[in-house]
């Protein structure tokens, strides 16, 4: 017999009765996602207010970790952070100078770096009321979130995403992680940030290739959740390909809001189940990244993966013909190259290595294979198996006509 704790207390002295006590509690999660410009202008209150949200009224020990590539583009960033902290000393106590950390996917591959950063937090006596602020792309935010979440069983962290991909997708999520044992994000946590602050000034200095890569996630989320947004992306494709500020800002905001809505309303924010709508196109994207030795940016691999799975949806009879052509045309108009030599890498038996990404994706999810495909533009459907011959056909559809 299963009873609540309160019902069970009256029976605690009884003998000969089976006992199973159910512990039940709810922990609400809430954090703000800001869109601003010039975050470290002394008159911008957002970061200080984010730290003060805890409501204790005391200054919080704070440390900043910055993607070192960003400092090359914004060499005065460390000075501006120090000046901001001094101007808002009533909210934060800067425990030391901002720490520079290598960015990009490689930063998630180094266990020694994880331990060094954890030791640094301990040496600065950062407790669970302190704040860790990560400033950089998605990989750096994954790393810093993991370091914060695993030190003192969880130090509050604030994300300041600096790429299109991080501002419109990963930065607003609840996952942190590092790569281990040859697998992407094998070690990690589901710990929401205390705040996410998107500063459009960082996008201004972002290389064009990285601006474009982040647009793939906007196409992805439009395809699974918002057909009208897909229409808008088609309408603005040329302006977006030129990185025009107004439509790019709107793309980032709308894409972030769609991701937020899926996380909060999809019923599985900590991914206990097998379905992952936001991973549309990702079973192949993750494998393509690895096969290319990360020559492909994550967003570039996602663009290829989205095109493959859209074409597969048509070949499998799930989606009306024509939608696949629109998706490929949009991605190409945005400037994506939808073919990479890793698409055609094969084993000794002649089988595409990319197909192994399906089983690796299932292992990462656990349980039954669940792949998100499309019924139409803006309407997704989950399937539990994929035909390898149709996948091969979908990949061949992307091969350039000259064969290269």
Residue 399, phi then psi, degrees to nearest 5: -65, 130
Rounded CA gap, 75 and 286, in Å?
A: 33
Distances (CA, A) of 146 to 61, 95, 154, 289: 19, 20, 9, 21
Question: Do 166 and 139 meet the contact criterion of CB atoms below 8 Å apart?
Answer: no
Q: Is the Cβ–Cβ distance between 212 and 367 less than 8 Å? A: no
Counting beta carbons within 10 angstroms of the beta carbon of residue 56, is it exposed (0 to 12), middle (13 to 18) or buried (19 or more)? Answer: exposed
Band of pLDDT at residue 158, cut at 50, 70 and 90: very high
Digit-coded pLDDT (tens) for 37-50: 999 999 999 999 99
- Report d(CA 357, CA 365) in Å as an integer: 12
Reported as a single tens digit per residue, the pLDDT across 355-375 is: 999 988 888 777 788 999 999
Sequence-distant (6+) residues with CB within 8 A of 240 are 215, 233, 247, 248, 251, 334
Query: pLDDT tens for residues 256-314?
Result: 999 899 888 776 777 776 567 788 999 999 999 999 998 999 999 999 999 999 999 99
Nearest to 263 by CA among 30, 25, 26: 30
Identify whether the C-beta of residue 219 lies closer than 8 Å to the C-beta of residue 233.
yes
| CB-based contact 36:198 (threshold 8 Å) | yes
CA–CA distance, 238 with 240 (Å, rounded to integer): 5
Instruction: State pLDDT tens for residues 176-191.
Output: 999 998 888 889 999 9
User: Does residue 229 contact residue 258 with C-beta atoms inside 8 Å?
Assistant: yes
Chain CA centroid to CA 397, Å = 28
| Other beta carbons within 10 Å of 299 | 26
Angle between helices 208-225 and 245-265 (to 10 degrees): 50
């Amino acid at each position: 017999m299963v009873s609540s704790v309160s019902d069970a207390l009256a029976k605690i002295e009884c003998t000969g009765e089976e006992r199973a006590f159910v512990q039940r509690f709810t922990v609400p999660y809430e954090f703000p996602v800001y869109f601003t410009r010039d975050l470290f202008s002394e008159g911008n209150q957002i970061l200080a207010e984010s730290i003060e949200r805890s409501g204790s009224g005391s200054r919080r020990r704070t440390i900043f970790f910055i993607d070192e590539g960003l400092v090359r583009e914004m060499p005065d960033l460390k000075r501006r952070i120090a000046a901001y902290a001094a101007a808002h000393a009533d909210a934060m106590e800067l425990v030391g100078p901002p720490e520079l950390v290598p960015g990009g996917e490689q930063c998630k591959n180094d266990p020694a770096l994880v331990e060094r950063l954890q030791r640094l937090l301990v040496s600065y006596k950062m407790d669970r009321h302190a704040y860790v602020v990560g400033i950089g792309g998605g990989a750096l935010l994954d790393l810093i979130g993991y370091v914060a979440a695993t030190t003192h069983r969880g130090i509050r962290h604030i994300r300041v995403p600096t790429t299109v991909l991080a501002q419109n997708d990963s930065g607003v999520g609840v996952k942190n992680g590092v790569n281990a044992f040859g697998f992407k994000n094998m070690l990690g946590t589901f710990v929401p940030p205390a705040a996410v602050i998107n500063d459009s000034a960082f996008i201004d200095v972002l290389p064009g290739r990285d601006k474009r890569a982040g647009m793939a996630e906007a196409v992805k989320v439009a395809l699974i959740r918002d057909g009208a947004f897909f229409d808008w992306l088609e309408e603005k494709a040329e302006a977006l390909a030129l990185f025009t500020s107004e439509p790019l800002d709107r793309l980032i905001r709308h894409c972030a809001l769609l991701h937020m809505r899926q996380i909060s309303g999809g019923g599985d924010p900590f991914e206990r189940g097998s379905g992952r709508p936001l991973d549309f196109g990702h079973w192949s994207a993750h494998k393509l990244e690895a096969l290319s030795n990360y020559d492909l940016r994550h967003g570039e691999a996602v663009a290829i993966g989205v095109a493959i799975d859209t074409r597969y949806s048509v070949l499998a009879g799930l989606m009306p013909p024509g939608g696949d052509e629109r998706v490929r045309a949009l991605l190409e108009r945005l400037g994506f190259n939808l073919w990479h030599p890793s698409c055609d890498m094969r084993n000794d038996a002649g089988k595409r290595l990319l197909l192994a990404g399906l089983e690796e994706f299932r292992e990462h999810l656990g349980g039954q294979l669940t792949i998100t495909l499309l019924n139409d533009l803006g309407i997704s459907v989950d399937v539990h198996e994929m035909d390898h011959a149709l996948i091969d056909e979908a990949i061949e559809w992307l091969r350039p006509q000259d064969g290269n």
